[in-house]
Amino acid sequence: MARGWESKSVEDQQASATAKSTVSGPELTPEERERRAKRATLALSRARILQDLQVACDTRHRAMLEKALADVDAMIAGLS
């Protein structure tokens, strides 16, 4: 009998967790979702460029990465 109560409690906890996760705030417009997705993609690109820049040895390669970083920063600033 105790097992039945325990499973019911777990079921209630899972239902409340699902309800909490579905209510995350106001609905975003398609444009806002697209802007956030682009910003996230640019943030990942920026992180990758910074990582590559840390290990780059050749001056031409470093210059190319620095230019790419500046371009990504400009794109991020344009989205804000």
- The model's pLDDT over 35-53, given as tens digits with 9 standing for 90+, comes to 999 999 999 999 999 999 9
Rounded to whole angstroms, the Cα distance separating 53 from 2 reads 60
User: What is the rounded average pLDDT of the residues 14-26?
Assistant: 67
Contact 36, 28 (CB under 8 A): yes
Give the distance from CA 70 to its chain's centroid: 21
pLDDT at 39: 95
Confidence of residue 8 (pLDDT cuts 50, 70, 90): low
Rounded to whole angstroms, the Cα distance separating 25 from 3 reads 36
pLDDT at 20: 62
Domains of the chain: which residue ranges? 32-80
Of 75 and 15, more confident:
75
